[in-house]
Amino acid sequence: MLIVQDIRTQTKTWISTRTGTVPQGWRATPGTVVMKFGEQLHSSIISEYQWHYIDYDALKQCLKKATRPVQEASSSAASASAWTNDDEVEFVSLLDEQLDKVYSKTQVKTSEIQRRIMWEQKEVDALVKRMHERGPNEPGPSEEEFIAREEFLSDIIADVHDLAKFVQVNYTGFLKIVKKHDKVTNQHLKPIWGVMMSQKAFFKEDYDRDVVKLSRMYDVVRTRGNPIKGDSAAGGSQGSFVRQTTKYWVHKENITELKLIILKHLPVLVFNPKKEFEAEDAAITSIYYDNPDTWDLYEGRLKKTEGAEAIRLRWYGGMQNDQIFVERKTHREDWTGEQSVKARFSIKEKNVNAYMRGDLLPAALFEKARKDGKKSEKQIAEDQKLAQEIQWSILKKGYKPVCRSFYNRTAFQLPADARVRISLDTELTMVREDNLDGVKRSGDNWRRMDIGVDYPFSQLPPGDIEKFPFAVLEVKLQTQHGQEPPEWVRQLISSHLVEAVPKFSKFIHGTATLFPDRIKLLPFWMPQMDVDIRKPVMQNFGIRRPGQSPTSGTTSDDDDDEDDLDSDTDEGPGGPQHSGSNGRSALSGGQALNLADLENQTAEDIAPNEDYPLYDSDDEYDSEDALEESRRVGGWTYYSALGKSYARAAGRGLETAIKTLAPVPRASEVGPSNRQRMFFGGQELQTKKFKAPKGKKIYVPVRVEPKVYFAAERTFLGWLEFSIYIGTIAVTLLNFGTKPNATSFIVAGVFTLLAIMALCYSVGIYLYRSAAIRERRAAKFYDRWGPSVLCGALFIAVGLNFAFEGRDREIW
């Protein structure tokens, strides 16, 4: 993760944006290593596709006609006058040619993958049939046959991965070149381009269906024809359960790769294996409730107070689903000895409104369940108690629907085995459900009915919707105490594919972004929304083909000969380039997390917070483009920009030289702790101070246990005890001296004043700490100056007493 400073305003103020993009006019600080898209494209080339990528350099070269100096143009009225209609026709023709090239290759490769999947399905079915239908003396399939099928499936998985990367990088290239065209020519090609892309929408290919099919086959082959079977119902058997959950953000570019990696270890959890997979089956929608006047549930979940609750209604699939789950999440502090728990019960959609209004009591709600006898009396009693508590909270505290979350979930889990469950939520969208601001959304109903699962919900106004820019990965483990998670899970969460965001909540994020005028306390991850979470590719983790060495890749050998490519002044060096393997290395090739003595690690072993190349975003500062633009304007503007460019380069060189030659001790770097490795893996962490927008605060979670209160009280009592000792010394000097005099009175007064000051200081510190603990503020509880000042004053008082006493005894 790389965090930079806005040098335009010279501040570190985070500015909230509803779209998750950086503010307009954002500039990267000089020295930030940014990878240009041209370099990203060259380093991402795969050998099979090398002649079918977008010719980004040719398109940029075509746009050079719009950036030549004004004096060379036919008209000097404007800087864009160098771009003529003939140039526009030529550019659009070239752009359409490149689009057709990419689209044709995508269609051909997609059809090929589909045929290979269908053929492999027949082979796997035949292999399993031979194994289960063989006679007593007939040999079953050999181990070599299963290994061959597994390698073939791995090759198909690598093909899907490569195709997804090919589509992603080309789609990004088309978007960037169209934006660059509109910027340098002052002509708007984006509307026409939208029509062109709709006719050849190569980027809309959905790989979820392929992932499900590959997962089924790979699970059968991996288990040698004996996959684990069990209940995969979506919550039908889930009542109350406890899990250890960690959450991560995943960039859209890494979603398909992440799915393909996980399916090699866990199968996709299909709720109804007998039904053909449909996109609607992955949809999950939740309606969150809260009091829109006090926001009790929001603040409780944000602050993680003991007993904080979240109440939501959830359904799986489309709006026609009649089974609704009423859920309540309850947070428990660690010191209580209990675990946070999620409890839920099911209800028919036709009964939800009556239940929420209090017209339908829980006893009547579960009357049919008792008659059917499908559940035990104990389970029915627990569900009824839960229904009573939730209904009482809604009616007593005035909870109403405020926010909806929608996403498509791909869950990976062994059926009937919840020890390891991984879910990936994509297309995450939050929608307002309230009736505030005089707008009737849900009305008297428990949910709004003008939308369903029709992502991206284009019928909604911008103020009613918040589209989350990343996918959310949840790793849920049910391991015994002291038991480590599987090695492949540890490698996954420490890889370049994920960004750790502990305690991320869809409810908290949706409420904070959809109600900016009503929510003043923001979650701690809000400033991170403006940060590019992509990381450099790890060469020891990813997808690789069978027989491929851990350090090899699937890119063309021509990529290593980049010096032969035509250079472009707009594609200046942007830092070290990624290797062409794109992370398609063996999972087993990753180094295990070293949990040895961290003090033996030196700075040469670990380089924390080291800059790494990033892909440039649309709003990032491009010094080469800025210089080219100033050259087009000419005159003093160009010479000023050129001078600043040289000055920045010289300053960076001088700073590097000074740091290298400075005779200062070089400290050894200590690696991350075991706890940090557990939660964040091996990824880098950086500390940054953010300033919230005016009128808002960013809440940082603070863990408060009973021992913290006791520690504050013990410290206060320790100060009181020390103050009493000093006061006792003062009383002794004043009243029990052999010959009371002015010296004894002065020294006793100093000690008395010191005791009073210590008492007042201790009371103030105790009140400050107690308030910080109650309010869960991220305060500094250590005392840097108090003990030092007190000891110094006591030393002076004792020294004065010794000096005065020596003078009275005429020793000096």
> Rounded to whole angstroms, what are the CA distances from 658 to 24, 611, 653, 655, 667?
35, 19, 9, 5, 17
DSSP-assigned letters across all residues of 571-616: S---SSPPPTTTT---GGGSPPP--S-GGG--TTT--TT-----B-
284 beta partners? 316, 407
Q: Of 496, 285, 299, which is closest to residue 403 (Cα–Cα)? A: 285
Half-sphere exposure of residue 649, counting CA atoms within 13 Å on the CB side?
A: 9
H-helix or E-strand containing 36? none
| C-beta separation of 613 from 577 below 8 A | yes
* Backbone torsions φ then ψ of 610, nearest 5 degrees: -80, 135
The amino acid sitting at 112 is E
620 beta partners? none
Residue 300 CB neighbour total at 10 angstroms? 17
> Rounded to whole angstroms, what are the CA distances from 198 to 99, 194, 195, 507?
11, 6, 5, 34
Exposure string over 763-797, b if 16+ CB within 10 A, otherwise e: eebbeebeebbeebeeeeeeeeebeeebeebbeeb
Structural tokens at position 401: 């629907």
Q: Of 284, 285, 290, which is closest to residue 434 (Cα–Cα)? A: 290
Residue 376 CB neighbour total at 10 angstroms? 9
CA–CA separation, 701 and 308 (whole Å): 14
Whether 535 is catalytic: no
Q: Of 193, 162, 195, 164, which is closest to residue 176 (Cα–Cα)? A: 193
Among the listed residues 65, 259, 506, 535, the single catalytic one is 506
CA–CA separation, 152 and 209 (whole Å): 18
Task: Please tell me what DSSP assigns to residue 6.
Answer: B
Whether the CA torsion 510, 516, 517, 521 is positive or negative: it is: positive
Q: 751 exposed, middle or buried (CB, 10 Å; 0-12, 13-18, 19+)? A: buried
Residue 38 CB neighbour total at 10 angstroms? 21
DSSP-assigned letters across all residues of 450-508: S-SS-TT-TTS-GGGEEE-SSEEEEEEE---TTPPPPHHHHHHHTSTT-EE-TT--HHH
Exposure string over 325-335, b if 16+ CB within 10 A, otherwise e: bbbbbbbbbee
CA–CA separation, 520 and 433 (whole Å): 20
Task: Please tell me what DSSP assigns to residue 692.
Answer: P
CA–CA separation, 356 and 314 (whole Å): 14
H-helix or E-strand containing 67? none
342 beta partners? 241, 329
| C-beta separation of 241 from 567 below 8 A | no
Q: Where are the alpha helices (DSSP H) in 200-252?
A: 208-222
CA–CA separation, 674 and 677 (whole Å): 5
> Rounded to whole angstroms, what are the CA distances from 539 to 45, 459, 579, 580, 582?
16, 43, 8, 10, 8
Residues annotated as part of the active site: 506
